[in-house]
Structure 1
Amino acid sequence: MTCVTRSGLAWGALVLGLLVGSACSDGGGGAPTPSPTPTPVVNTKPHFTSANAVSVPENSTAVFYTATGADPEGDPVSFRVTGGDDAAFFQITPSGQLSFKNPVDFEVPSDKDKDNKYIVELTINDPAGLGEGLILTVTVTDVTTGPYHVRRVATGLTQPVYATGVTDGSGRMLVVQKTGQIRVVDPASGAIAATPFLDVSSQVTTDGQRGLLGLALAPDFATSGLAYVFLTNMSGDIEIRRYATPAADRSRLDPSTAMLVLRIPHSGSNRNYGGWIGFSPNDGYLYIATGDADDCGTGVTTLSVARRCNAQGGSPLLGKVLRLDPTKDDFPADPDQNYGLTPTNRTLAILSGFRNPYRASFDRAYPRNFWVSDIGQSLQEEVNFVQIKNTYVGNTYHQDEQFDWPYLEGDIVHVNDTSYMRGAGYNRFTWNHGTGDYNANAIVGGYVYRGPAESLQGIYIAGDYSSGRVFGIKNDGVSPGLRLTQAFRPDIGTIDHISSFGEDQKGNLYIVDYDGELFVVVAD
C-alpha cells in the first residue's frame, strides 16, 4: 500500500491515525507484534500463627488472647468467633483481641463439660472471604487469694478421723484418733496435750475400717462433763459408750465411768461401719450413722435380694441413721441397751438405705437440716440432705426416709427392676468415681459453713479422702457444685487424705488429714 500525503490534510487526522496504530508501508508488507497476556493472580487463604490453647484466671473480662495470622498476598485479615461448644461466652474484635463477655467462676464452671476448659472456634478471613478455623482451648484457672485462707494448726497426730471443739469456751479442739485415743489440741499454738482426753486403745480393734470413729459431747457438757463415743470393740461390733470427766477436771474423760449405751453386732466384716455420732441442736437427741457391714453390693440385681440387705430389711440397725434419748433407759433388763426411745420415733432407725454413712452433720443455723454422706461402692459418691421432721403422725413423731442403697448407688440403678421407685423427700448430690477435679472416690461429708468467712456462708463443704479434693454445695436447687480444692490449699503442709471435717464452738471449719495434720479455715 502507498501512503499519500496531501498538503491540505488536517493535523488532527494525522494524529488520530498514529493513535489507532495505522501503518504505512512502501509495499514491503508486515504484521504488528501482539501484547503479552497477563498471568492470573491466585488468592490463597490466610492461616493462623497464634497458639491453640491459653489459660486465664477466673473472673476476668479483660483481653487474654490475641489471635494472629498471615496472608500470603499480604492482604489485611480479620477474625471472628464462629463456633465451638462454648462460643456463647466469648467476644473478639476484628483485629483478634479475645475476651469473655462476662466473668466466669472457677468454682462454678459454665463450660459444656464442666471442667473449666472452654472450647471456642475462631476464624481468620481475607477481604475476599477466604479463611480457616482454629479450635482454641481456654483453661480457666483458680484465683486462690480471697477473703479466707487455710492454716495448718497441728501435726504429729496418729490416724486422726474426727475433730470437734470443746464447748466450754476454751477454744480447745478434740481430735479422735482411729487407734483409740482422743487428743486435745490448742489451735493457737498447735500444741497437743500430753494427756489424752480419752484412751481406750486397748479396748478397740483397728483392722480395716474399725477403730475409735466418732465423738459427741453432751449438749450440757460444760456442766455435766458427759461425752459419747462410737467405737468397734475387740469382737468388731459397734459400741456406743458414755464417759464422764471428773467433776473438777473437764480436760479428760475418766475411763472407769464407761457405760454401754448400745451394742450393734457387726463382726462379719471389717468394712462399712459408718462411724458418725452427734446431738441434734433441734431436739437434743443423739443421732448415730451405721454402715451396712458390706453385706450387699455387686451382684444385687433384684428387688427381692436387695430388700434382704442390711441397709433395707436385713437389719434393724445397720445401714441406718438411728435416734435415741441417752438420758433414759427403756430396757433395764438388757445390758446392751441403755437408752430411751424418743417420742419422735417408734423404732431406733429413722433413716434407712445407706452403705457407709461415715460422716453427717446438722446445720447450726437451721437445726432441722441434716446432711449425711454415703461412701459408694464402685460408681458414685453421694451426699444427702433431709429435714428432720417435727410433726406428729398419730400419737408420735415419725420419720422413715428411704435413701435407696442397694437399689441405687448415687443416681445409678443397681437392681434390674423398673418397678422400684426411688425415695423422695430429700436432695441427693453425687460425684462420679474418677480422677478429674470434680470426681470423688471416698466422699467425706462436712458442714454447712457458719464461720467468719463471709464468702463461704451457707455453703456445705465436703471432701474426698482419696485425693484431698474439696467441694462445696449451694443447696438452692440451681447452683452446680463448687470446686474448692485450690482455694483450700494450706499455707504449709498438704491436704491429700481428708478423713473428716470439724467445727469449733464459734463455727470455724477444720479439716482433718489422715496423715496426722489438722487445718483450719481462717477469715482474712
Structure 2
Amino acid sequence: MKYTPTNDACCSARRFAALCAVVWLLILPGCRKFDPPGHQRAVDIKEIASDFVSPIQLVAVPDDSKRLFVIDQVGKIWIIDKDGHKLSTPFMDVSSKLVTLNPGFDERGLLGLAFHPDYKKNQRFYIYYQLPPRAGGPAPDALWDNLSRIAEFKASAAPNIADLNSEKVILEWDDPQFNHNGGTLAFGPDGYLYISIGDGGSSNDTAVGHVEDWYPDNKGGNGQDIEANLLGDVLRIDVNTGTPYGIPPDNPFVNKPGRDEIYAYGFRNPYRFSFDMGGSHQLILGDAGQLLWEEIDVVTKGGNYGWNVKEGRHCFNAASSLEVLPSCPLVDNLGNPLIDPVIEINNWQNPAGGKATTVIGGHVYRGHDINGWNGKYIFGTFSQSFTTTDGELFAATPAGSAWTYQEVSLKSHPDDIGYYLRGFGQDTKGEIYLTVSSMLGPQGNTGKVLKLIEVKADKEDDDNRQGNK
C-alpha cells in the first residue's frame, strides 16, 4: 500500500520532516500538500448548480450580464444567471446533431465554447462539437469515427437562447478514432481564436489514420506531422477575416512548409488550455499522457511539445509504452527544440507509482476571494483510477522551466474532491470553478458546478490566532 503522508504524520513532528520530503518526492515529484502560510484560511468547494449530465467546462461571457455558461458534453449549454440560478431552458441544444455517445465512457460530444471578444455588440460565439462520420475512411478497410466541427452561431433576439439557424461552419476534419479530441476554444489576448486538437485517438499515435513523421524510431504520428492534417496541434485562426476564416500573418508556418493554421504542435490530447487573465497572459495547457506521465505546458508560437517522440520529459517508446527509450532527439527535423513541460505528474499506471488518470488543465487565479492565491495556476486530475470518483486539485507557482506545485486539501474533502473532475471555469472577476460528476461516462444527472471559496474561520480559530499574536 502506498504511503500518503498527512499534516499530522508529516508536518507536525520535526523528526519525520526529512522522511516526509523524501516520500513525497518518490510518490509525486514536485508536489506536497497545500498548507497556506500565515493567516490564510482554508479553501473549500461550494455547489453553484447541479443536475447536469457531464459538465466539462464553464465559460464566462464578455458582456455585463455576469452570466456563466456550462458546456454539457451531451450537447447542451446551460446558463447560470447573475443571481446564481441555473435557467430551466438551455441556451443551446445540439444533442440531435451529435455522433451517438457511449454512456459508459466517451471523449466525444460538445467539447468547446468561446464567445467573441465583441460578443456584447455582435452576439457571435463558437462551439466545437462532433457529428456522425462522413463516408470513407483513413484507409480502404477503415471508416472515419466522427466528423469534428468548429461552427459560429449567434444569440437570438432573446439573449438567453441561441439561434440554431445561424450556424456558419468554420472548420471541419475527420477523426480516425473516438478519443484524443482536444476540445478547447478560446480567444487569445490578440483577438484570434485558438483551438486544441488531439492526435486522432487510439494509443501511441500509430493507429490507422496516423501518418508517418520524421522520427523513424517510433512509428507514426500525427503529433509530429505539420503538413498532412491538423491533428495533435493548437491552431490559431482569424474569424474576423477570410472565408470562412483568415490566417494571422505571423503564424509560424505561413509561407513555409506546414499548415498555416498551426500555432504549436507535438500534442497527444490537449484537452484543456487557458490564457492567464493577468501577467503576461501565458497560454497554459494540460496534455494527457499515455501510461507513464501527464503534463502541463506553457505554449508558445511555433513550439513543438514532443509527442510522440517524448511523453512528458522522457523518451517515448511506441513499441513498448511502459518502457522508456534510452535516448531520443532534442530537436525535430526543422531544428525546433522539443519543449519539455513545466509540470509532470506520474500517471496512475506508472510502475514507479502515480495517481493521475488524466491531467485537467485549469486557470491562473486572478480573483480576490481567496487570500494568497493570486498568480497560482490551479489544475487537477480526472481521478486516481477509472473506477474511483477521486479527482485531485493542485496549485502551482508559475516560475522557471519546472514549476513547483502542491496538492490543495479542501476543508470538506481533505484527500480529493470527491468527484470525477471534468473541467474548470473562470468568471470575469478571476474566480475559479470546477465542473464535476459522479459518473465515468456521459449519463445520469450527477453533474455539478462547484466554486472554489475561502472558508471563514470559526470563533475558536480566531481566538487561537489572537492568542498567538
SS at match of 1:222: helix
Structure-2 change in CA distance of 1:263 and 1:455 (3 Å) = same
Corresponding residue for residue 361 of structure 2: 445
Are 1:407 and 2:309 counterparts?
Answer: yes
* Equivalent position SS for 1:487: coil
Which residue pairs with 1:354 in the alignment? 267
Q: Secondary structure at the match of 1:156?
A: strand
2:292 is the counterpart of 1:370: no
**Aligned partners of 1:143 and 1:227: how far apart in 2?**
39
Deviations 1:221-261 (A, max 9, x none): 11211110011112212100000012x43212110001100
Alignment of 1:13-92 (within 5 A): 57=8, 86=18
* Preserved contact between residue 392 and residue 417 of structure 2 (Cα < 8 Å): no
CA distance in 2, matches of 1:401, 1:140: 32
Gaps spanning 5+ residues in structure 2: where? 134-145, 255-259, 318-324, 332-336, 384-389, 439-446, 457-469
Q: Counterpart of 1:433?
A: 347
1:312 aligns with 2:224: yes
Question: Which residue of structure 2 lines up, in the alignment, with residue 192 of structure 1?
Answer: 86
Secondary structure, aligned partner of 2:229: coil
Structure 2 counterpart of 1:217, from 102, 106, 115: 115
- 1:249-328 aligned at under 5 Å gives the runs 249-266=158-175, 268-281=176-189, 283-294=190-201, 297=204, 303-304=215-216, 306=218, 308-313=220-225, 315-328=228-241
Q: CA RMSD in A?
A: 3.4
Secondary structure of the residue aligned to 2:216 is: helix
Answer with 1 or 2: which has the greater Rg: 1
Q: Is the 8 A contact 1:218 1:228 kept in 2?
A: yes
Equivalent residue for 1:520? 451
Contact kept in structure 2, 1:356 and 1:376, CA below 8 Å: yes
Query: What residue identity is the alignment partner of 2:348?
Result: G
Q: Are 1:502 and 2:419 an aligned pair?
A: no
Secondary structure of the structure 2 residue equivalent to 1:446: strand
Distance 1:413-1:305 versus aligned 2 partners, 3 A rule: closer
5 Å-filtered alignment, 1:387-402, equals 388=300, 399-402=301-304
Name the residue aligned to 1:242. Answer: 152
Question: Equivalences for 1:158-173 in 2 at 5 Å?
Answer: 158-173=53-68
- Measure, in 2, the Cα distance between the counterparts of 1:403 and 1:369: 16
Question: What number of residue pairs does the alignment pair up?
Answer: 386
1:360 and 1:373 in contact (8 A); partners too: yes
Check the 8 A contact 1:173/1:184 in 2, yes or no.
yes
Report SS of the residue matched to 1:421. Answer: coil
Residue 229 of structure 1 corresponds to 127
**Contact between 2:206 and 2:221, CA under 8 Å: does it hold in 1?**
no
Asked whether the 8 Å contact 2:34–2:407 carries over to 1, the reply is no
Q: Name the CA distance, whole Å, in 2 between partners of 1:521 and 1:494.
A: 11
CA-to-aligned-CA distance 1:63-102 (integer Å, 9 cap, x gap)? x69xxxxxxxxxxxxxxx7xx8827xxxxxxxxxxxxxxx
Q: What SS does the corresponding residue of 2:404 show, helix, strand or coil?
A: coil
Percent of aligned pairs with the same amino acid: 26
TM-score (norm 1): 0.67
Match of 1:480 in 2: 404
Tell whether the 8 Å contact from 2:343 to 2:403 is kept in structure 1 after alignment: no
Q: CA deviation at 1:495?
A: 3.8
Alignment match of 2:371 (pick from 450, 454, 458): 454
Check whether the contact 2:423–2:435 (CA below 8 A) recurs between aligned residues. yes
One-letter amino acid of the counterpart of residue 272, structure 1: H
Q: Which of 202, 218, 227 pairs up with 2:96? A: 202
Separation in structure 2 between the aligned mates of residue 162 and residue 339 of structure 1, nearest angstrom: 25
Q: Which residue of 2 aligns with 1:343?
A: 249
Note the alpha carbon deviations across 1:172-211, whole angstroms, 9 max, x for none: 211001110001123744x321221111000111342110
Q: Is the 8 A contact 1:438 1:483 kept in 2?
A: no
Give the letter for the 2:313 counterpart: D
Match of 2:463 in 1: none
Query: What is the CA-CA distance between 1:142 and the residue it aligns to?
Result: 5.8
Aligned residue for 1:86, secondary structure, equals helix
Query: How many angstroms apart in 2 are the aligned matches of 1:472 and 1:55?
Result: 17
Structure 1 SS opposite 2:223? helix
The answer to whether the 8 A contact 1:169-1:505 is kept is no
Change (3 A) 1:257 1:112: same
2:74 maps to 1:179: yes
Query: Quick one: which amino acid aligns to residue 348 of structure 1?
Result: E
1:317–1:140 CA distance, 2 compared to 1 (3 A): closer
* 1:381 corresponds to 2:289: no
* Secondary structure of 1:113 counterpart: helix
**Cα separation, partners in 2 of 1:158 and 1:272, compared to 1, 3 Å:** same
Distance, in Å, in 2 between the alignment partners of 1:219 and 1:269 is 33
Question: Are the aligned partners of 1:230 and 1:275 in contact in 2 as well (CA < 8 Å)?
Answer: yes
Partners of 1:152 and 1:294 in 2: how far apart? 34
Deviations 1:86-140 (A, max 9, x none): 27xxxxxxxxxxxxxxxxxxxxxx71122699xxxxxxxxxxxxxxxxxxxxx98
Match of 1:76 in 2: none
Aligned-partner Cα distance in 2 for 1:470–1:427:
18
The residue that corresponds to 1:420 in the other structure is 329
Q: Residues 326 and 456 from structure 1, CA distance in 2 versus in 1: closer, same or farther, beyond 3 angstroms? A: same
For the residue of structure 2 that corresponds to 1:112, the secondary structure is: helix
Q: Partners in 2 of 1:449 and 1:55 — Cα distance?
A: 26
What is the letter of the counterpart of residue 451 of structure 1? G
Tell me the residue number matched to 2:465: none
What's the counterpart of residue 33 of structure 1? Answer: none
Judging changes above 3 Å, is the alpha-carbon distance between structure 1 residues 140 and 176 closer, same or farther for their aligned structure 2 residues? closer
Report if aligned partners of 1:495, 1:513 keep a CA contact under 8 Å in 2. no
- 2:394 maps to 471
CA distance in 1 between counterparts of 2:406 and 2:341 reads 16
How far residue 400 of structure 1 moved from its aligned partner, in angstroms, is 1.4
